[in-house]
Amino acid sequence: MISYTEERTALFIDGANLYAAARALGFDIDYKRLLQYFSQKGRLLRAFYYTALIEDNDYSPIRPLVDWLDYNGYTMVTKPTKEFTDSAGRRKIKGNMDIELAIDVMEMAEHIDHIVLFSGDGDFRRLVEAVQRKGVRVSVVSTVRSNPPMVADELRRQADSFIELQEIESEIARRHSGPRREERPDDRGPDRAARFNPDDIQDDFVDDDEDEGEAEVLYPTRPPIRR
């Protein structure tokens, strides 16, 4: 990744898309390490994180991560998911954050030199082109090493630089050491939320858009099993 120490930088993280890409590569994101890594690459002004929230009367499974990020340097942009039933009678969850992300990128473009977009969604190609015309450099973070690739080819071509997620895994991945989380008697500190992974709760996911580079909702659809 080409970086300039005096460059004003902002991160725009499509939460579901980044999670899907890391999951496809077989590792979990440590958001504390991710923020530290990109802070060293330039003058990091903002780190936006976008996610839809599956609200339940008792519990939202992504809430521990959202709360931790909100208190630890990230600007959270959230909205409730929408639930519907498809023609086969199956329950579906939809929570697309593309509009919110695009609006924030356009508003911030006048104040930053470099945008780092964590998404492989091809719908963002036109957005990238628009901010490039304003003189902003755009880097896209995703992966082509999963099967299928998580980044749309048109988005990768449009970006000024492409950051292969697997190549920075050692800098931003959750470090696994000692017994598994469920085996540790005391694991309630803030670092646990920084390493939060929806897979730690359940593996019941809904992905209602299977287009290349898209991952609208990849979070549990039921509250966790309380131990």
Q: Please give the model's pTM, rounded to 2 decimal places.
A: 0.77
At 94 the pLDDT is 78
Name the most confidently modeled range: 135-139, 192-196, 203-207: 135-139
Give the integer Cα–Cα distance in Å for 162 and 133: 18
Distance of alpha carbon 202 from alpha carbon 59, whole angstroms: 13
Domain locations in the chain as residue ranges: 8-200
Do the beta carbons of residue 185 and residue 92 sit within 8 Å? no
* Mean pLDDT value of segment 193-200: 47
The model's confidence at residue 179, banded by pLDDT at 50, 70 and 90, is low
Is 98's pLDDT higher than 80?
A: yes
Is 213's pLDDT higher than 70? no
∠ CA 180-181-187, nearest 5°, is: 140
Kindly report the backbone phi and psi dihedral angles of residue 17, in degrees, each rounded to the nearest multiple of 5, phi listed first. Answer: -70, -40
Considering the segment(s) 8-200 as one domain, its CATH architecture is 3-Layer(aba) Sandwich (3.40)
Picking from 136, 92, 129, the residue whose alpha carbon sits closest to that of residue 113 is 136
